[in-house]
Structure 1
């Protein structure tokens, strides 16, 4: 089957890879000049099954209200008239019940475990490199109420197969000695030894190169304008005035998926959650972590990528604004130097912001839409890198008429 994949981020490129592996003739179209230049460019770098607790949980509404008006808040809803955000927010609140949170954790863990396994298989088969480390992910907590909530969430994740183990402050320091400065403030933590870290941008570009060598066609610099509908099916994609045709179409455009799908009657509950990152170059004598660390109270992650430290986090709901906010950028750097005062950077941080495609439940939308030959693989929120390989492999199965291995509520048309 001839398949057109729209989007060359980590989700689009992995989709193309697994579709080609399944025997399909695949073309990828993207407006950028190369793969992985938008939301996949500078994310937190974690392959984190341990982040399966969704933003929508029983504690979220009170936290969001307590942070309202704080420019450096970990989770910031900017008050503005936005019907899309209002509708999305109501759905988000419905997902905050204990029962919905538990069900969503179950589904995220199932897909994330499968995805991590597929990434490991791909790495073994291809030798792909991307500054990856297999040293686990360590969550630290400096607030006792946050820690108590994390203990409950970790227990649910263990029930569904994620080895997220609750530990004390001394064990946190033993796992990552560079936390010595903040050790007196740590009230506890949890550690998931099987989780990983790595550079999603480098992975995406290297996988695109491997895919091109195996016959995947990449059409870069092509702005996708609309889907052409005829006879209840997609007849083609108009990109820069050119009609591109295929047997099946996969929309993997992150937040932009909303605008492309709506005119053909497919409405998806995706809203942009703006995230920030700082990439800090390191000197040879820098005292920087080698285990990927999550500072849960500040919603910030730290991942070592070779001689760089990637610091990423926070979520800002402010429509499709992509501007860098200096206060939120500085908050990342300030917290980094509080935790790692001997970091000794080799230069100035490189700041970046990207729009994560967030659903109210935090579950991505994967599968066939109501239009028979139109598929979607989007809505991964903060877990695009974690879920990319599993989502792509499952999509390839669905498009090929097979049942995906991971138990997950896929779209089936």
Structure 2
């Protein structure tokens, strides 16, 4: 088949790879002048397979209200960007904040994440991909004893889902992350996910795109996607800045912008753009830097090590499609990296960035078939697009190929929202 993939982020390029590998003629369309130039450009760098968890959970509304009152708030709501769409999405998310929904959604997400872990391992064995990949686990660092004692409900969920994890002592935190010895008074222990990894999503996507080109994938960059032309229950063309482009099938991998393209077709994608920020610091002193990822539980900020850089990701802002870089949003990331790893990176020469995370109300991505027969989705991964990228791409390729997927795809498509 001739297949058009709409979107050149990590989801789109990965989807193109697995489709091309299975024999299709694939074209990727993106408005940027390079792949991975938007949300995939500077995310936190975590491949957080075990740390996968829905935003919507029992108790989260109350926690979110408390977080927003903090000086270094991990979540913010922009009043200037608040509208009916924002309110509707938040209400849908609140409807998922119960134990049954949380457990169901977590199982779906963990299934994709674990599949992505094995798929990425297979891919890196098959291809030469330079993306600062490390497989040394994640530590959720806990700053006070009360919180350490209160994590048992989370552990029960992890055990139920078969996620490898371990509550580690103060000394074990330092054993895995020696630089924490410099700030030993700052924490009491942690929760470690040994199967988690790290990597630069932008570098990965650029490298995979070169393999895609070698496999015959065509990239149409600097090309605006205006609309989908549909007739008799099928997409017949995509309307772009270079004209109408036709294919046998189409895959939407446009992240937060997916609803703008798809909603006119008669069904709604409940995806909302959650704004996330990151800092990238040149490495100054390796002995003072993390070896993998340390997630500060108190501030919801992740500090991730690349080969010669440190990536710090945090702050979730509900701000619609606003991509303004507000300087005050740097503060949580700057505080955490300086508090836990002082002297490790050059804050004076840090690069500040923001991107839009495509969040569904249940945190589960939208993957697979749609009410339009030749239109498929691979979108809505929220904060876990990098983590879930390979499993999601392979899954949607299997669905398009009418092959039995290696994991259960039930409840992942848009049909869970379509009445």
Fold shared, TM-score > 0.5 on shorter chain: yes
Q: 1:289 to 1:100 in 2, by over 3 A?
A: same
Residue in 1 aligned with 2:252? 251
Query: Aligned partners of 1:347 and 1:314: how far apart in 2?
Result: 20
Correspondence list, 1:249-398, <5 A: 249-283=250-284, 287-345=288-346, 348-398=349-399
Kindly state the Cα deviation for residue 152 of structure 1 after the two structures are TM-superposed: 2.2
User: Residues 224-239 of structure 1 correspond to what in structure 2 (within 5 A)?
Assistant: 224-239=225-240
Q: Is residue 60 from structure 1 mapped to residue 54 from structure 2 by the alignment?
A: no
1:410 matches 2:417? no
Displacement after TM superposition at 1:70 (Å): 5.2
- Structure 2 residue matching 1:16: 3-state secondary structure: helix
Q: Residue 51 of structure 1 aligns to a residue in which SS?
A: coil
Change (3 A) 1:28 1:187: same
- Conservation of the 8 A alpha-carbon contact between 2:51 and 2:193: no
Runs of at least 4 residues of structure 1 off by over 6 A? none
* CA–CA distance in structure 1, aligned partners of residues 382 and 76 of structure 2: 15
The 10-residue stretch of structure 1 (4-13 or 236-245) with the greater mean CA deviation from structure 2: 236-245
Equivalence for 1:28: 28
What is the CA distance between 1:216 and its match in structure 2?
Answer: 0.6
Relative to structure 1, the CA distance from residue 400 to residue 412 in structure 2 (aligned partners, 3 Å threshold; closer, same or farther) is farther
Alignment partners' CA distance in 1, 2:192 and 2:69: 33
Secondary structure (helix, strand or coil) at the match of 2:203 reads: helix
For the residues of structure 2 that align with 1:98 and 1:217, how far apart are their CA atoms?
45
Match of 1:51 in 2: 51
- 1:204-236 Cα distance to aligned partner (Å, 9 max, x none): 000001100110110000000000011221000
Q: Do 2:11 and 2:378's aligned partners in 1 also have CA atoms closer than 8 Å?
A: yes
Cα offset for 1:241?
A: 4.8
Aligned counterparts of 1:48 and 1:383: Cα–Cα separation in 2: 8
How far has the Cα of 1:16 moved from its partner? 0.5
Tell whether the 8 Å contact from 2:168 to 2:189 is kept in structure 1 after alignment.
Answer: yes
Question: Per the alignment, in what secondary structure is the counterpart of residue 139 of structure 1?
Answer: strand
Query: What CA distance in whole angstroms lies between the structure 2 residues aligned with 1:135 and 1:159?
Result: 23
Partner of 1:101 in structure 2?
A: 102
- Cα pair 1:134 1:197 within 8 Å, conserved: yes
In 2, Cα distance between the equivalents of 1:180 and 1:371?
A: 56
Say yes or no: does 1:122 pair with 2:127: no
Q: 1:49 to 1:151 in 2, by over 3 A?
A: farther
Q: CA deviation at 1:94?
A: 1.2
Correspondences of 1:5-24 after superposition (within 5 Å): 5-24=5-24
How far residue 144 of structure 1 moved from its aligned partner, in angstroms, is 4.2
User: Cα offset for 1:405?
Assistant: 1.1
Partner Cα separation in structure 2 for residue 78 and residue 66 of structure 1: 16
Measure how far apart 1:168 and its partner are.
Answer: 1.9
CA offsets 1:312-353 (integer angstroms, 9 cap, x no match): 112000110001111111321122111111315285100000
Contact 1:111 1:407 in 2 (8 A): no
Structure 1 segments unaligned to the other structure (5+ residues):
none
The answer on whether the counterparts of 1:130 and 1:203 sit within 8 Å (CA) in structure 2 is yes
In structure 2, what is the Cα distance between the partners aligned to 1:200 and 1:344? 20
Partner of 1:164: 165
Change (3 A) 1:405 1:285: closer
Segment drifting more, 395-404 vs 243-252: 395-404
Q: Distance in 1 between matches of 2:325 and 2:43?
A: 15
Cα distance in 1 between the residues matched to 2:241 and 2:313: 34
- How many residues matched? 413
**Whole-angstrom distance in 2 between the partners of 1:378 and 1:204:** 16
Calculate the TM-score normalised by the size of structure 2.
Answer: 0.95
SS at match of 1:321: coil
CA 1:97–1:237: 2 relative to 1, 3 Å? same
What is the rounded CA distance, in whole Å, between the counterparts of 2:332 and 2:276 in structure 1?
A: 13
CA distance in 2, matches of 1:46, 1:285: 19
Cα displacement (A) at 1:173: 1.4
Shift of 1:266: 2.4
Deviating more after overlay: 253-262 vs 53-62 = 53-62
Paired residues of 1:52 and 1:157 also in contact (CA < 8 A):
no
Offset, 1:284: 5.1
In structure 2, relative to structure 1, the CA distance for the partners of 1:342 and 1:156 (3 Å cut) is same
Task: Give CA deviations for 1:366-400 in whole Å, capped at 9, x if unaligned.
Answer: 01111111111110001000000000000001111
Separation in 2, partners of 1:152, 1:123: 35
Distance (whole Å) between structure 2 residues aligned to residue 379 and residue 72 of structure 1 = 27
User: For each residue in 1:95-135, what CA deviation from the matched residue of structure 2 results, as whole angstroms up to 9, or x when unmatched?
Assistant: 11111111111111111000110000000001212011111
